[in-house]
């Protein structure tokens, strides 16, 4: 089992939206490293820290779980923001997984994450990190859940 932090702008799709819908395809990722995480490493049952980004108070807002293996992201074939003219159905370039809602947590702000020295290597805290999906070390996962959120894995 692996663990991930997946960022979403709450104005686009929030933890509340995920709770209401139950699951969502994590579409529109157009970074090769993030795509490779989904395509090559994510497995059903992997844990997800659902992170609200680009908002007044960024931070971890809830928990989710990977619920499907990667499959071609349909938005690459559709006219619009995520369209990729080089992608074909025979040779797709972009993939997504689906994630399902597990629960809300109290918001763990970016400031609170930064204040914890044991999380110094958490990728979301690295200067210049812009990836929407990053792996989370099992020790970081447990620290976030057990010590900061007061929840058990």
Domain ranges in the chain? 3-141
Residues 82 and 28: beta-carbon distance below 8 Å: yes
CB hemisphere CA count around 114 (13 angstroms): 8
Q: What is the pLDDT of residue 129?
A: 85
Each residue's pLDDT, cut to its tens digit, for the chain (153 residues) gives 999 999 999 999 999 999 999 999 999 999 999 999 999 999 999 999 999 999 999 999 999 999 999 999 999 999 999 999 999 999 999 999 999 999 999 999 999 999 999 999 999 999 888 899 999 999 999 999 976 666 544
Give which of 47, 61, 64, 48 is closest to 10, Cα–Cα.
61
Q: What is the pLDDT of residue 146?
A: 78
Q: Dihedral through CA 37, CA 40, CA 45, CA 48, nearest 10?
A: 0
Fold designation for 3-141: ph1033 like fold (3.10.590)
Q: Taking phi first (over 0 means left), then psi (-120 to 50 degrees means alpha), and beta for anything else, what does residue 14 get?
A: beta
Q: What is the pLDDT of residue 150?
A: 64
The pTM is what? 0.93
Q: Which residues make Cβ contacts (< 8 Å) with residue 100, sequence separation at least 6?
A: 18, 22, 23, 64, 65, 67
Report CA-CA distances (Å) from 59 to 54, 56, 63, 86, 108: 10, 10, 12, 35, 5
Q: What is d(CA 76, CA 26) in angstroms, rounded to the nearest whole number?
A: 13
Q: What is the pLDDT of residue 153?
A: 43
Q: What is the pLDDT of residue 127?
A: 87
């Amino acid at each position: 089992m692996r663990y991930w932090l997946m960022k979403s702008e709450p104005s686009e799709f929030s933890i509340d939206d995920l709770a209401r819908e139950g699951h969502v395809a994590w579409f529109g990722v157009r970074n090769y490293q993030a795509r490779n995480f989904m395509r090559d490493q994510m497995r059903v049952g992997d844990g997800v820290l659902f992170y609200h980004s680009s908002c007044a108070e960024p931070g971890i807002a809830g928990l989710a779980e990977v619920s499907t293996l990667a499959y071609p992201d349909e938005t690459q074939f559709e006219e619009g923001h995520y369209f990729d003219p080089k992608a074909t159905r025979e040779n797709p370039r972009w993939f997504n997984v689906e994630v399902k809602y597990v629960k809300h947590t109290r918001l763990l702000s970016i400031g609170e994450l930064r204040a914890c020295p044991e999380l110094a290597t958490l990728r979301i805290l690295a200067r210049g990190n812009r990836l929407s999906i990053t792996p989370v070390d099992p020790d970081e996962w447990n620290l976030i859940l057990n010590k900061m959120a007061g929840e058990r894995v």
